[in-house]
Amino acid sequence: MLKKITGIILLLLAITGIVIGFMLIQDYYLTPKKTVPIVEASTKTDYGIVIDSMLVIKDKVRKNQFLSEILLSYKVDYQKIDLLVKRSIYIFDLRKIKAGNNYTVLCTNDSLNKVQYFVYENSPSSYVVFDLRDSVHVHTGEKDVEISVKTTSGVISSSLWNAMMASNTDPELASELSEIYAWTIDFFEIQKGDYYKVVYEELLVEGKSIGIGKIHSALFNNEDHDYYAFHFLQDSVPDYFDDKGQSLRRTFLKAPLQFKRISSHFSHNRLHPILKVRRPHLGVDYAANYGTPVQTVGDGTIVFAGKSGASGNMVKVRHNGTYTTAYLHLSGFGRGIKHGTHVRQGDVIGYVGSTGRSTGPHLDFRFYQNGDPVDPLKVQSPPADPVKNPNLGTFYKMMKESKAKLDSIPLPSGKF
């Protein structure tokens, strides 16, 4: 009897053990486990080079300092420098190293401090790597450029540049706007109270601004007239169009140079400043600094380039069968400017001077229509090709969205 009871107890204990074991196994497999993360060692890189174990020295190129002088100061031998110069010929012109630009020297972090790499930044976003290890190698690289879309606005009190500064905007934007509106707005004649709104790209490298990118859209109100500009890609060519799909480019530029002021207007009865007699002045005088570049206002062919009596050094451009322009009192001519040369709108054809009968440096600019002189400021220049019909749907959809965004930008003065 005792043996029978003992056997039953042992059997029960065995069954209990099996159940408990099964429960433990089930709990082990079904309970979510806490995972231990695997930490990978991070490596610090710069210019595509692992620099964790290196001594990093950053500096700027000094005035009149050459690459050889910099490398010699870090104990790079002449033989290696000579080899580096030879390897650089087709990669980077060492004569273009500029004072003020950044460079980085990467050395071994030991008692020898042997130079491994020399990196020269030829622009805020591009650099040249000179690998000075066993086998000298030279290659170029680009930093990542971040694009940030921004908006700005301003009201003119004295000049576009000053308005940009007042709104803490990169004044480079003033130059970009001047180019976009070169055919429609004379930025030297803008009025107090004129205003602008712009949607543009700011370019950033390592969090620092390096300049202005593309202007997406703009509104410039000049003398209470709204001039819109919308960036649009047509036939793979970028251009700016107004809100009606017309190109902002024109056959002729608004002015042939960057000038200070108009010192004399077109007139049939002007008192000559030297001769002191009244006679016609069939052009517009732009007061400008000596040597200011003068651009042809449109495509055409040079029909005269040389000295012309009281006109001094002069260039004449025939644009087509109707229009011809003339540029007088030049100090000199642009490269390759001679009779028969074909020029494109914006090409430099000469420089402001005071040759001929002149009281000081200025450009006398003249416009001829069918051989007759006309007031350059009153010439109605026809526009370039508009948005083509197949592209109008896409353009208008983009334009309406961009226009709404422009119109929503507030002005500093509260004027809308």
Tracing tokens 């980085």 back to the chain, one arrives at: 104
Distant-in-sequence, close-in-space partners of 197: CB < 8 Å, separation ≥ 6: 151, 152, 153, 218, 219, 406, 407, 409, 411
Domain boundaries along the sequence of the chain: 45-142, 144-250+383-416, 261-378
The beta-strand segments (E) located in 79-194 are 102-108, 115-120, 126-131, 137-142, 146-155
Alpha carbons 369 and 379: distance in angstroms, whole number: 9
Q: Name residue 326's beta-bridge partners.
A: 316, 366
Give the CA-trace dihedral at 155, 156, 160, 164, to 10 degrees.
-40
Alpha carbons 399 and 168: distance in angstroms, whole number: 27
Please compute Rg for the chain using Cα positions: 35
Which of 292, 299, 337, 336 lies closest to 315, judged by CA?
A: 337
Report which DSSP code applies to 250: B
Tracing tokens 């400008």 back to the chain, one arrives at: 288
Predicted confidence (pLDDT) per residue in 309-359, tens digit: 989 999 999 988 788 999 999 999 999 999 999 999 999 999 999 999 888
CATH architecture of 261-378: Distorted Sandwich (2.70)
* pLDDT at residue 387, as a whole number: 94
Question: 45-142: which CATH topology?
Answer: Nuclear Transport Factor 2; Chain: A, (3.10.450)
Report yes or no on whether pTM surpasses 0.95: no
Alpha carbons 324 and 346: distance in angstroms, whole number: 15
Question: 144-250+383-416: which CATH topology?
Answer: Nuclear Transport Factor 2; Chain: A, (3.10.450)
Tracing tokens 């009871």 back to the chain, one arrives at: 5
Q: What is the pLDDT along the chain (416 residues), one digit of tens a residue?
A: 555 555 555 555 555 555 555 555 555 444 444 434 443 444 688 898 988 889 999 999 999 999 999 999 999 998 899 998 888 988 998 888 999 999 999 999 988 899 999 999 999 999 999 999 888 899 999 999 999 999 999 999 888 888 888 888 888 898 889 889 877 887 767 889 999 999 999 999 988 899 899 999 999 999 899 999 999 998 888 999 999 999 988 888 888 987 767 877 766 555 555 555 556 677 889 988 999 999 999 988 999 999 999 899 999 999 887 889 999 999 999 999 999 999 999 999 999 999 998 888 999 999 998 888 898 888 877 777 899 999 999 999 999 999 999 999 999 865 44
Q: Please check whether the two domains, 144-250+383-416 and 261-378, share a CATH topology.
A: no
